[in-house]
Structure 1
Amino acid sequence: MAKKYNTIDLFCGCGGLLDGFMQEGSYNTLACVEWEKYPSETLTNRLATKWKHKNAQKEVIRFDIQRTEELINGFKDKEYGESVGLEKLVNGKKVDVVIGGPPCQAYSLAGRIRDEHGMRNDYRNYLFESYIKILSHFKPDFFVFENVIGMLSAAPDGTPIVDKIRKAFNEAGYAVIEDFKDALYDVADFGVPQHRRRVIILGVRMDAFPVKEEAKHTYKSIIKSFYEKIMPSMKCEQKTVRDTIADLPKIYPSKVIIRNGGRKYSHTPISCDDVITNHSPRFHSERDQGVFKLLGEDIQSGRNQYVTIDALKELYTKVTGKKSNIHKYYVLRWDEPSNTIPAHLYKDGMRHIHPDPEQARSITVREAARLQTFADDFVFLGPTMAQYKMIGNAVPSLFAKKIALALDKILNNISDNG
């Protein structure tokens, strides 16, 4: 039996990165840390039902990672409950890899635009310090650190955050790529039906590998191989929106508002939870349905009257009487990858309009999940808006699987050659 590599997953959300590692088959999670309720419940359910972890309730720790000592040694808390802590969950096993990335809102370009202070005062700018404390305690040979492109330009206190992160990793004993810009990827190039640019930092513990030039493995050669050979070999043909969601049941506008269980529907609900879960759209007013239909028909007919930013801004002002610095509407194109699926999707779906004008709606949770390459058996728990948010925050599971495969090639090569 092939060796399983033990992981700890930090800032795991609902588990997109973890699920990709588990799908690859060479990894076993010992513990996952997430502080939000519904992503934690979703991940616990996934570990128990899909990956058959009998101890999933304990392995998923809902807690504030900034309270690192308690996280490691155990805690009892009014809000988060209690846990024996990471140390006892690991139970003396070697932690081979730590995976995860701090919440990206403080680094995201969109977040900095929306915040009047440019997110300079956001505590999430420095959550990487908690990540490093976990590294320093368990000393894995490798880590995988994921974040948004905005990290490359963020400088909350005037010093580039990438310089702080690189220095902190080095001081903790880990080598990383010299220029983080060389670690930037568009997941669409890896078969994910969505344009989404992310920074993937592979960290290698320097004292785990000799630095002699004649040595078979050095941390420098491992990092070089990962970025210059292995990750490029994982690229494949881009997938489209049509490839991904065209086969899902169609959901058309209802002639009357439907009320059911305290919720109102603008579109006729479909009874398909036994076949496909989380496939129900949010409520849309008649006005918005009209806009969605207009924009979808504009593209479908080839008129393309509303495809420029200026035209979409003008339409928004005409429809709402308001002005916006960014265009509020975007229709997914059938024969292209989707635009980025963001956490902001929980607030509205105006920039993720279904390409079929007859359906006149934004995408459902299941459609968003498919565009993030979550399997249809991945069930999202909690209110609908929480589901959209956790999906938008996640790493696409197919991209995560390819990162896991790339790392596995390194691990196998080291194991085979000593």
Structure 2
Amino acid sequence: MKYKVIDLFAGCGGLLEGFMKAESYDVIASVEWEKDPLINLKNRLETRWKVKNADRKCLLMDIQQTEKLFKGWENDTKYGTHIGLDQLVSENGGVVDIIIGGPPCQAYSIAGRARDEKNMKEDYRNFLFESYLKVVNRYKPKIFIFENVPGILSAKPGEKKVTEMIYEEIEKIGYHITKDLKKLALLDLSNFGVPQVRKRVIILGVNKDYFNSPEEAVRYFYEEILVNYKKEKKVTLWNAIGDLPKLYPLSLECNKKSHSESEVQIKNHLPRYHNKRDIQIFKDLALDIELGINKYKSSEAKNQLYYERTGNKTNVHRYHVLQKHEPSTTIIAHLNKDGWRFIHPESIQGRSITVREAARLQSFSDSYEFITSQGSNYKMIGNAVPPEFSYRLAKALSRFLKETIK
């Protein structure tokens, strides 16, 4: 028997990818409100996982429109036509075992709050958890997984912290999560085989109807099961991308291309365009590390370099060279704007990372082909849950359900 899964805020399917690989789960539906990630997810379900009717199982819809999401919709100018979740659940025997997903993190992120003059307090994304829980309440899965950034632990859009509001709403609908989220649910995914430092809050919610002692069950999952799926040795950046073909700057630009393309064709391993100025900056920064000079180690030195080369001033350093023998820094959606904080460590290449390199640092298999624009691909990869972690999570949850459910 396989567990039936609904995937919310699915993106391009990073979280679902691990569950499919674990082979103990069948997907009922994936819901995503942006078109490009869903195009990629649908293609992946069809080509790699051989999911029948993948088109019907991939719902393009804003989760806030819950009635449409449940009952279906027709001829929407943005979201087209679909039969809705109720029909899909009915076709799968009316049983949902697990709901997975995490709302967009911008409203909870500390960096996002720092940039917003109102501290993100008026951002609607603060309350997307309410729509998530409406789906949980309707289909009553045995458990759910709610993933988000560490900033959710301190986010306070009103009088209460977001986590307090989530806890109260979850209790109202007959579920339980631990209040000890900082200790139990805050994880560094580099401990689970992901070649980047990526801290995330992974909240397990359990249906009280299925567990004699919900708090004990949740603690057992974190303290006794999930810890066994950690990887003993961390994967470095070079472990992940060191074997990829090198891409060198061209002496002359050709058709808006600044770098060579590899003779060995690897999907999505294409360099983005960089102008001559930026290529030289990237080379200088990487060479500074290679030679052990460390002239540009401080933020102040990087800001001065930025001013000298561009004529502009900044208080936030814009450059970062990735370190070969450490896990990467966190891959983020901002990669779709530029790659200045993701500079390749080899000075001879003088560039930022490719879509394939970003995907590998997020632990996507090379068999996952990203088929939309380069900018969209960077964005969805940065927003994704790393499949290597989600695979280990899925294995842990399968064991948890077998051992604890009454």
TM range (shorter): over 0.9
Larger mean CA deviation between 28-37 and 320-329 belongs to 320-329
Cα deviations by residue, 1:110-133 (Å, 9 ceiling, x for unpaired): 211222222111111100000000
What is the deviation of 1:240? Answer: 0.4
Alignment map for 1:6-155 (pairs within 5 Å) = 6-76=4-74, 77-91=76-90, 92-155=93-156
SS in structure 1 opposite 2:250?
A: strand
- List alignment gaps of at least 5 residues for structure 2: none
- Of residues 331, 334, 343 in structure 2, which corresponds to 1:353? 343
Q: What's 2:299 paired with?
A: 309
Q: What's 1:241 paired with?
A: 237
What is the deviation of 1:310? Answer: 1.8
- Of residues 238, 247, 250 in structure 2, which corresponds to 1:254? 250
- Of residues 262, 266, 269 in structure 2, which corresponds to 1:270? 262
Contact 2:211/2:404, CA 8 A, preserved across alignment = no
Contact 1:258/1:268, CA 8 A, preserved across alignment = no
Cα deviations by residue, 1:265-288 (Å, 9 ceiling, x for unpaired): 111123544xx2111121111110
The RMSD of aligned alpha carbons is 1.1
Q: What's 1:215 paired with?
A: none
Cα deviations by residue, 1:368-388 (Å, 9 ceiling, x for unpaired): 000000000101121100000
The 2-side partners of 1:172 and 1:110 are apart by 32
- Of residues 201, 210, 220 in structure 2, which corresponds to 1:225? 220
**Paired letter, 2:242:** A
**Paired letter, 2:135:** I
Q: Is it true that 1:394 corresponds to 2:384 in the alignment? A: yes
What is the deviation of 1:209? Answer: 2.2
Q: Is it true that 1:407 corresponds to 2:397 in the alignment? A: yes
What is the deviation of 1:414? Answer: 3.5
The 2-side partners of 1:115 and 1:286 are apart by 33
What is the deviation of 1:78? Answer: 1.5
The 2-side partners of 1:353 and 1:131 are apart by 36
The 1-side partners of 2:393 and 2:301 are apart by 40
- Of residues 352, 355, 368 in structure 2, which corresponds to 1:362? 352
Q: What's 1:191 paired with?
A: 193
The 2-side partners of 1:128 and 1:366 are apart by 31
- Of residues 323, 328, 337 in structure 1, which corresponds to 2:318? 328
TM-score (norm 1): 0.94
Larger mean CA deviation between 328-337 and 298-307 belongs to 298-307
Contact 1:240/1:337, CA 8 A, preserved across alignment = yes
**Paired letter, 1:48:** E
The 1-side partners of 2:300 and 2:170 are apart by 44
Q: What's 1:213 paired with?
A: none
Contact 2:259/2:273, CA 8 A, preserved across alignment = yes
Runs of 4+ in 1 over 4 A off after TM superposition: none
Cα distance change of structure 1 residues 54 and 272 upon mapping to structure 2, 3 Å threshold: farther
Q: Is it true that 1:167 corresponds to 2:164 in the alignment? A: no
SS in structure 2 opposite 1:32?
A: strand
The 2-side partners of 1:315 and 1:187 are apart by 33
The 1-side partners of 2:156 and 2:66 are apart by 25
- List alignment gaps of at least 5 residues for structure 1: 211-217
The 2-side partners of 1:304 and 1:278 are apart by 32
Identity %: 50
**Paired letter, 1:287:** R
Contact 1:47/1:56, CA 8 A, preserved across alignment = yes
What is the deviation of 1:208? Answer: 2.0
**Paired letter, 1:266:** S
Count of residues in correspondence between the two structures: 401
SS in structure 2 opposite 1:121?
A: coil
Contact 2:68/2:84, CA 8 A, preserved across alignment = yes
The 1-side partners of 2:4 and 2:52 are apart by 17
The 2-side partners of 1:344 and 1:110 are apart by 12
Cα deviations by residue, 1:150-209 (Å, 9 ceiling, x for unpaired): 111111124211111111111111100112212101111111100010000000011222
Q: What's 1:318 paired with?
A: 308
SS in structure 1 opposite 2:279?
A: helix
The 2-side partners of 1:169 and 1:323 are apart by 47
Q: What's 1:214 paired with?
A: none
The 2-side partners of 1:81 and 1:44 are apart by 16
SS in structure 2 opposite 1:130?
A: helix
Contact 1:24/1:404, CA 8 A, preserved across alignment = yes
**Paired letter, 1:209:** F
SS in structure 2 opposite 1:201?
A: strand
TM-score (norm 2): 0.97
Contact 2:148/2:202, CA 8 A, preserved across alignment = yes
